[in-house]
Amino acid sequence: MDDPSRIYIGTAFVAGALLTLGLKDLVYPELERRIREHQACSQGPSEDPQDEEALSARAGPPAIVEGIEGCIGNTPLFRIKSLSDATGCEILGKAEFLNGAGQSSKDRVALSMIQLAEEHGILSPHSGDTIYEGTSGSTGISLASLARAKGYLAHICMPSDQAIEKSNLLLKLGAIVDRVPPAPIVEKDNFVNRARALAQAQTASDAQGTGFFADQFENEANWRAHFSGTGPEIYAQCEGKLDAFIAGAGTGGTISGVALFLKPKIPNLYVVLADPQGSGLYNRVRFGVMFDYKEKEGTRRRRQVDSIVEGIGINRVTANFEAGKELVNDAVRVTDAQALAMARWLVEKDGLFVGSSSAVNCFAAVKTAMKLGPGHRIVTVLSDSGSRHLSRFWAKAGDVGGAVDTQLEDVLNAHEDQ
């Protein structure tokens, strides 16, 4: 290479370096601004700084969490494709069956009740304290899992007509299980009253440890778990754009807690109760009267809510339902036949295997979508998996087999004799 070429290349290199250094203060800030804008767009619109719960939910869980209790919450919200396509609405399912302790929405409630008891000095780990609860199953499973994780024992009372796999799982988790005949809440042998009495008896005795009655139906830690967790997560996942929320009520904690969080932020939100046959809450919401036609004397087959659906439906207003009932706009009654047909549809169309209460919620979501019309966004709760309902609900639903051509009208028009 001759000297003029070397001089040219050297001059160009120096000039380029000087130009880069000279423009750095102009170019780099612009580049950084574009990067920040791209990141902001990928994360969606920012929430109000006061919405700390929503911001926390958006951030997601840390890479490593502490114990199984750290695996509770931040569950996915996903589009249920078949229902969305069939109705023209965006129907979203909150996948509560993916909670990491007892694999249901009751994980949130169980953890909240235990933490509140610990804060008040009622429970002390590894001291022989026992957690007592009356439950149809899922809350008991969550309590049993967390009790073992946090150094307590669990004693669960449940109606004897609930799916046997629930009590079997409780036994595997080390809980004591009492399966008692179904009885109204006014009778001392009701499963809730029995759990309360056993807790009081242990506390009053000389036995080691306190008996703590969790009392999911009346304990405000229930709805507060959904106010501080489920509600903010839904708000963040939907970026505040939501038209309706659908949930059933057993204790009433989910629908109250979520509604109490979302309604102030989305005043026009349509909150709908999904209620199984035999429950009185449908008439309580629609007409202000706590009654169901299946409660009529001489027509009732069971001494509780006359439905094959487990986990939701009740014939009294609990403290947790009372907390948010004024925010519930409407109710949809779902028969057993309709719940069974919806459960089969979700397997056939989406490969989604859910429990009985989730099927009721999805049916009510479809009815709400049809009422509101296409173009609306609706969120419902998928409380637990169908694996907890094999011996009862799914035994009656039967095998889906090779079905591929069921129409939504078939689900909506399902009758008991089908």
Residues tagged active-site? 106
Instruction: Find the Cα–Cα–Cα–Cα dihedral 346, 349, 350, 352, rounded to 10°.
Output: 30
Q: How far is CA 300 from the centre of its chain?
A: 30
Q: Cα-flanking dihedrals φ and ψ of residue 78, to 5°? A: -130, 155
Q: Which strands, in side-by-side order, build the sheet including 77-79?
A: 77-79, 90-95, 377-382, 244-248, 270-276, 330-334
Round to whole Å and give the CA distance between 394 and 386: 7
Round to whole Å and give the CA distance between 357 and 385: 10
216, 222 Cβ separation under 8 angstroms: yes
Angle between helix 164-172 and helix 138-150 axes, rounded to 10 deg: 0
Round to whole Å and give the CA distance between 252 and 273: 10
Strands annotated E in 186-313: 211-213, 244-248, 270-276
Report the 3 state secondary structure along 344-373: HHHHHHHCCCECHHHHHHHHHHHHHHHHHC
Backbone dihedral region of 74: left (phi > 0), alpha (psi from -120 to 50 degrees) or beta?
left
